[in-house]
Structure 1
Amino acid sequence: MKDEEAVTEADLEALVRGICFKTGPPRAVGVELEWLVHAPDRPSLPLTPGLLRAVLERLRELPLRAPLTVEPGGQLEISSLPAPSLTACVEEVRADLRLVRTALEPFGLALSGLGTDPWRGPRRMLREPRYDAMEQYLDRAGPAGRNMMCCSASVQVCLDAGYEEPGALGLGHRWRLAHLLGPVLVAAFANSPYLGGRRTGWRSTRQALWAEIEPGRSAAPPVTDRPREAWAAHVLDTPVMCVRSESGPWPVPRGLTLREWARTGRHRPTTREDLEYHITTLFPPVRPRGHLELRMIDAQRGADGWVVPLAVTTALFDDPAATETAARAVKPLAERLGPEAPPRGRLWQDAARDALHDPELREAARTCFAAAAEALPRLGASGAVADAVASFADRYVERGRCPADDLLDLSPEALASPPGLWADRAPAHPTTQRRKDVLS
């Protein structure tokens, strides 16, 4: 584009290697939280663009520590700044969320921690060239792309890439662990068995949506001990979603990889900004952005439900003893990964469909949660964080359940009018009865 310096294919490859993996001692932690936005008394009521604009005007006035953005379907996202510790990250994000929830109340709206919208179908709120282009591109593969854009929400944990050298905290080990641990995290935190008013047959419908969109877009590169080379090749050989333009609709080419674009100059010469934007349109389970961004966890219910996946994942990656235990626990699962890149393959499908009802995933989750619980005090986590992890493990992991099972226990009538779904309190204890108050 205008005033952007053109770069070559070699430049692009060097940039990918340099900007996507920044190594060193693991020190910082962050979290990106996406939330559906509903009217608590009428969850199927769609948002309107006018209401969303009014809400955003109010939210921009808040003294938030973290950036707040809006997703195409009106979902809100808080992206924490890198924090020096797990406790600092939790405290800062929790304070921001209190401000956001309070600001939403006068509009009759609340945040909803669910991986997919149980009541509403895809309806795009944002009309911008990049989202117009994204929708056009993803529609070529079917409806999963629109549902992902407008009806899904997640907890994304961000961790340092680790040391350059081998070892439990080394980049190669953390990269491999992230991909093997991914299905366990999908299964333990599955929280999206409904979409648009229907039961889907998946406990993590959100994960199933990722697997259905265009293969190269959501796939991971080969999981090797040389992640820089694998990721650089993946970035350059994946088709670009669109070509940014200063005016008019953005072109949406077919099959034009970034590598071919750089070689041919089709449309216009490539720039560093094109590379950076292209990377944001890749949706693998683990995305390197200087740090490692783990993207496979469904949004969680309750005011502090997100704290548990953040704490467990951080403990398993940043405590050397917990890292080694987790690596041993997930190693047997590698045989079930299959030839397809994540999030496809049998193991990922089993995690999304069966969650912890799968015996091997349940056993791996039990071991990983126990290791995380032992590591949290060593990382300086607060007693409240440790208690939240222990409560989740007792409620779900030890019983072979996941949050989606609570939703599946509900009658259709209870799901249609769920009082307390957005309440800022811990969920009720699981029960075999179909109760309206099983959610929070």
Structure 2
Amino acid sequence: MSAPATSSGEPISGKHQLIASLESGCKPRTAWRIGTEHEKFGYALDDLRPLPYEGERGIRAVLEGLAGLGWQKVFEGGNVIALKDGQGAAISLEPGGQLELSGGLMETIHQTATEITHHLDQVRQVADPLGLGFLGVGFQPKWSRDDTPWMPKGRYAVMRRYMPLVGGKGLDMMLRTCTVQVNLDFASEADMVSKLRVSLALQPVATALFASSPFVDGKPSGLLSSRAAVWTDTDPHRTGPLPFAFEAGMGFERYVDWMLDVPMYFVYRDGRYIDCAGQSFRDFLAGRLPALPGETPTMGDWADHLTTAFPEVRLKQFLEMRGADGGPWRRLCALPALWTGLLYDDAALDGAWQLVKDWTAEDRDRLRREVPAAGLSAAIGGRGLREIAADVLDLASAGLKRRARLNDSGRDESIYLEPLLATVRSGRTPAEEMLDAFHGRWQGRIEPIFREYAY
């Protein structure tokens, strides 16, 4: 989720503040938490069309209904554009009306599973009387860009104008994709770098395991993750596998330097978004931003700017894993299980590094570009991705078992990896199962996906 913009915060006097802000995310292991986010497509049950913002059966009505269940409304220009619960969780809108839950900070994945279950129950409680449904896949399977209503958020108007100038699929990213991601902590700068490198290298493994978007415009796209393919042609200045993260000297300052060169989208002032797309935050620091001549940024402006970069793993005061397609409940829980098992256990993290340490930047980039079509059939370093995924899941499972966080039935968090283990055993991604259904029992029709993959 991109939180509502703010121009608040102390003025920025130098780069040291930006470095210190990222460094302030360092936490002792006892304070590490798990924050899971997921997006879903809303649609009308009668005609399967995406939901507009306004109307008796629009997104606003859904937000109003959820507010009646205890959520607090967040407004922009008189429109409800998000909800919050006062305890760290939030519900927000993506550009095409995708509804996103940004979950609270949990100690265990058992708590995450409970949170997601409760949220989906609330969504159904509101959606059912309205004749609406919500779909768990990675790319809108039926409707085109032109069929998709835009949500009334100021930042999206800026991005809508700018995206086609820098990539061919940025508008698809905004309107027609859904993801699940997990946000995880680090103890120190060195710990951050270790986790960042491992998770950047292994993001294509997650993409393959979670691939669930083989359809575009109502027919097979030739891809297993159409969502992941979109990210290879969105904006090269703010996306990708961050090759500099593997170079000597990587740390908070190096990421700040990169972010200073990521072109800006906007500055938020007095309730409105000022379009400065393509302009430089470095110029803003020097008081030379063309959109606001003579004005310098606040830490609130920097926080907003951090949300406008979309690498495979994003650094804020935590690390965001961004490589997976959205999916059903079991996979929404599997994603945090995968990364928690790998990154929150020292032996698992070391083992994961041994898997990827010899991959070159060219290897990693090639794998990222091959996986959307090849899935687990891709290869890197002379090994098939299915074999690598099996090793990754073994490491994650062992890490979760060592964490020994038990539910009421005495079971540890490794239970949430079962959908991924089943995928590796079969060698078939969720997308390939969807394609089997499309060519089989769906009889070449896309409409059944809205029933079989609804929440």
Q: Is the 8 A contact 2:95 2:175 kept in 1?
A: yes
Which residue identity is paired with 1:226? M
Q: Is the 8 A contact 1:114 1:298 kept in 2?
A: yes
Q: Residue 223 of structure 1 aligns with which residue?
A: 245
Q: Residue 98 of structure 1 aligns with which residue?
A: 121
Q: In the TM superposition, what is the alpha-carbon distance from 1:9 to its structure 2 partner?
A: 4.2
Q: Residue 283 of structure 1 aligns with which residue?
A: 310
User: Structure 2: 5+ residue runs without aligned partners?
Assistant: 1-5, 72-84
Q: Residue 389 of structure 1 aligns with which residue?
A: 417
Q: Is the 8 A contact 1:162 1:174 kept in 2?
A: no
Q: Is the 8 A contact 2:210 2:325 kept in 1?
A: yes
Distance 1:419 1:15 in 2: 46
Structure 2 length as normaliser, TM-score?
A: 0.82
Is residue 89 of structure 1 aligned with residue 116 of structure 2? no
Q: Secondary structure at the residue paired with 2:331? A: coil
Distance 2:372 2:19 in 1: 36
Q: In the TM superposition, what is the alpha-carbon distance from 1:391 to its structure 2 partner?
A: 4.2
Is residue 144 of structure 1 aligned with residue 169 of structure 2? yes
Decide whether aligned partners of structure 1 residues 76 and 163 sit closer, same or farther in structure 2, where only a CA change above 3 A counts: same
Q: Residue 177 of structure 1 aligns with which residue?
A: 198
Decide whether aligned partners of structure 1 residues 306 and 5 sit closer, same or farther in structure 2, where only a CA change above 3 A counts: closer
Distance 2:99 2:357 in 1: 36
Distance 2:140 2:366 in 1: 25
Distance 1:414 1:386 in 2: 36
Moved more, 134-143 or 150-159: 134-143
Matches within 5 A, 1:405-416: 405-409=432-436, 410-411=438-439, 413-416=444-447
Matches within 5 A, 1:36-75: 36-40=41-45, 42-43=47-48, 45-49=49-53, 50=55, 51-63=58-70, 66-75=89-98
Matches within 5 A, 1:304-319: 304-319=330-345
Percent of pairs identical after alignment?
27
Distance 2:356 2:12 in 1: 41
Moved more, 242-251 or 404-413: 242-251
Distance 2:123 2:199 in 1: 31
Distance 1:202 1:72 in 2: 23
Which residue identity is paired with 1:141? V
Distance 2:402 2:15 in 1: 44
Distance 1:6 1:385 in 2: 43
Q: In the TM superposition, what is the alpha-carbon distance from 1:40 to its structure 2 partner?
A: 4.5
Decide whether aligned partners of structure 1 residues 385 and 172 sit closer, same or farther in structure 2, where only a CA change above 3 A counts: closer
Is residue 214 of structure 1 aligned with residue 230 of structure 2? no
Matches within 5 A, 1:9-408: 9-10=14-15, 13-19=18-24, 21-25=25-29, 27-40=32-45, 42-43=47-48, 45-49=49-53, 50=55, 51-63=58-70, 66-122=89-145, 123-164=148-189, 170-221=191-242, 222-224=244-246, 226-246=250-270, 250-254=274-278, 256-266=279-289, 267=292, 268-301=295-328, 303-332=329-358, 334-335=359-360, 337-338=361-362, 345-359=365-379, 360-379=384-403, 380-382=405-407, 383=411, 386-394=414-422, 396-408=423-435
User: Structure 1: 5+ residue runs without aligned partners?
Assistant: 425-440
Decide whether aligned partners of structure 1 residues 419 and 185 sit closer, same or farther in structure 2, where only a CA change above 3 A counts: closer
Moved more, 118-127 or 385-394: 385-394
Q: Secondary structure at the residue paired with 1:192? A: coil
Q: Is the 8 A contact 2:266 2:273 kept in 1?
A: no
Decide whether aligned partners of structure 1 residues 25 and 281 sit closer, same or farther in structure 2, where only a CA change above 3 A counts: same
Distance 1:39 1:384 in 2: 38
Moved more, 383-392 or 180-189: 383-392
Distance 1:391 1:243 in 2: 42
Distance 2:19 2:341 in 1: 32
Which residue identity is paired with 2:99? L
Q: Secondary structure at the residue paired with 1:181? A: helix
Which residue identity is paired with 1:358? A
Q: In the TM superposition, what is the alpha-carbon distance from 1:291 to its structure 2 partner?
A: 1.1
Distance 1:197 1:13 in 2: 45
Q: Is the 8 A contact 2:40 2:100 kept in 1?
A: yes
Q: In the TM superposition, what is the alpha-carbon distance from 1:361 to its structure 2 partner?
A: 1.4
Q: Is the 8 A contact 1:115 1:299 kept in 2?
A: yes
Which residue identity is paired with 1:79? S
Q: In the TM superposition, what is the alpha-carbon distance from 1:11 to its structure 2 partner?
A: 5.1
Q: Residue 420 of structure 1 aligns with which residue?
A: 451
Distance 1:324 1:300 in 2: 29
Structure number with the higher strand fraction is 2
Q: Is the 8 A contact 2:219 2:446 kept in 1?
A: no
Distance 2:454 2:156 in 1: 32
Distance 1:391 1:14 in 2: 39
Which residue identity is paired with 1:75? Q
Pairwise CA RMSD of aligned residues?
A: 2.5
Distance 2:269 2:46 in 1: 42
Structure 1 length as normaliser, TM-score?
A: 0.85
Decide whether aligned partners of structure 1 residues 183 and 248 sit closer, same or farther in structure 2, where only a CA change above 3 A counts: closer
Distance 2:8 2:336 in 1: 40
1:9-59: CA deviation from partner (whole Å, max 9, x where unpaired) = 43554455445x42432621110111111235543x232222222111101
Q: In the TM superposition, what is the alpha-carbon distance from 1:312 to its structure 2 partner?
A: 1.5
